[in-house]
Amino acid sequence: MERLFDTRVRIVTGKGGVGKSLVALSLAIVAARRGKRVLFLETNPPESVTRFLGKPKLDGEPRLVYENLWMAGLIPSEAIREYALMTLKFKALYNAVFENRIVRYFLRAVPSLSEFVLLGKLWFHEGERSGDAPKYDLIVVDAPATGHLISWLRVPHVFDEMMPTGPLKKSARDMLDMLLDPKRTKLDIVTVPEEMPVNEAIEIAHAAMQHRLATRGLTFINRILPPLPDALVATLHAGLAGADGATQKRFAALERTVATREHWRQLGEEYLQRLPAADLKRAIRLAKRAVPIADEAAVMALAAELEAQL
Ligand SMILES: Nc1ncnc2c1ncn2[C@@H]1O[C@H](COP(=O)(O)OP(=O)(O)OP(=O)(O)O)[C@@H](O)[C@H]1O
Ligand SMILES: [Mg+2]
């Protein structure tokens, strides 16, 4: 479990479609079940993970979804408004500045402002306190896929370099302090045993160092094909070897399917060998289900499988 709680912010990324959202959600569920106060933040609310749970979509305000587990979406328009209110302090001033059409036009023209304020919102929640203790023990971010993730986490560097002084520079510095402190933030990577997702996992790990995005954390290998029992394959082959021609013909498709499946499984394992050996050794492996994960029970089963390996 220490591996999960060695930092307060976990940013979960990987190639599109590999299961980032489900892995991030599983991590949040596991931590909440262990009594931690958890905030799950998702960056693409139109595709909300709540669809897997049969719950309504998230909005910007954290909502208690399970015991100890709050969930919210990182929504650019809301975050820009909140950031302005926080920085400018007064609503009247916000209305004067941000509701002004010319200023709104300018804001839209500032590249990366929405990415910037989304990080600002993460930073805000990380600093939230309830009494003497942090409000959340763990914040799990269901982050964008590779390319977008890299440009997202580059944004505070750019603002820091660009701004000579002022509130945006201070915010950028605050964000970098959070992102670059291994005690505060880790970047977790999800992949699957296929060529492109493995390449992207390597690319993110490299970018994390080269561009100083954040410290690398956990590696998850999702959708692993469980090997067929040796006995089953051997029985099939032995049975067919001694069978008459008609029987062999009848079972030919089955034999081919088994062989193809095994071929794909081995190929997948070969792709995984490209990962740094240390990552591969410590990776958390999650089995591919026979049907896509689509309901609460399947999500809970994935969380249990993950928990057993922490
Ligand atoms: N271990 C698994 N077994 C079976 N199906 C899975 C598994 N993991 C994920 N899936 C399926 O893969 C699809 C993608 O999962 P998910 O939405 O978590 O990926 P993602 O990386 O967040 O995608 P996106 O890049 O679109 O945000 C889902 O439909 C889900 O049901
Ligand atoms: Mg997703």
Q: Identify the H or E element spanning 142.
A: strand 138-142
Which residues are CB-neighbours of 109 under 8 A, at least 6 positions away? Answer: none
Separation between Cα atoms, residue 282 and residue 310, nearest integer Å: 10
Separation between Cα atoms, residue 173 and residue 160, nearest integer Å: 6
The DSSP bridge partners found for residue 302 are: none
Ligand 1 pocket test: pick from 293, 295, 300, 306 the residue with the most ligand atoms within 8 Å of its Cβ.
293
Q: Block means of pLDDT (10 residues each) for the chain, length 310 residues?
A: 90 97 98 97 86 91 96 86 70 63 63 86 94 96 96 94 86 96 97 98 97 97 92 86 90 89 94 96 96 97 97
Distance of CA 86 to the CA centre of its chain: 27
At residue 103, the pLDDT reads: 59
Residue 103 CA: distances (Å) to CA of 53, 95, 107, 148, 278 = 40, 11, 6, 26, 50
Contact 36, 5 (CB under 8 A): yes
At 213 the three-state DSSP class reads coil
Answer whether 286 contacts ligand 1 (Cβ < 6 A): yes
Separation between Cα atoms, residue 1 and residue 34, nearest integer Å: 9
Separation between Cα atoms, residue 144 and residue 87, nearest integer Å: 26
At residue 176, the pLDDT reads: 98
Answer whether 51 contacts ligand 1 (Cβ < 6 A): no
Residue 97 CA: distances (Å) to CA of 81, 164, 166, 248 = 11, 22, 16, 78
Q: 2-226+275-307 maps to which CATH number? A: 3.40.50.300
> Tokens for 75?
């929504």
Which residues are CB-neighbours of 124 under 8 A, at least 6 positions away? Answer: 82, 86
- Which amino acid, one-letter code, is at 55? K
Q: Identify the H or E element spanning 52.
A: helix 50-53
Q: What is the pTM of this model?
A: 0.91
> Tokens for 70?
């709050």
Residue whose Cα lies nearest atom 23 of ligand 1: it is 17
Longest dimension (CA), the chain: 87
Burial 112-145 (b: 16+ CB within 10 A, else e): bbbbbbbbbbbbbbbeeeeeeebbbbbbbbbbbb
Residue 20 Cα to ligand 2 middle (Å): 5
Residue 307 Cα to ligand 2 middle (Å): 20
Q: Where are the domains of the chain?
A: 2-226+275-307
Neighbours of 57 (CB within 10 A): 13
Answer whether 18 contacts ligand 1 (Cβ < 6 A): yes
> Tokens for 45?
């609310």
Residue 17 Cα to ligand 1 middle (Å): 5
Between vectors from CA 273 to CA 10 and to CA 191, what angle results, nearest 5°? 35
Q: Where are any strands of DSSP class E within 58-124?
A: 63-66, 69-73
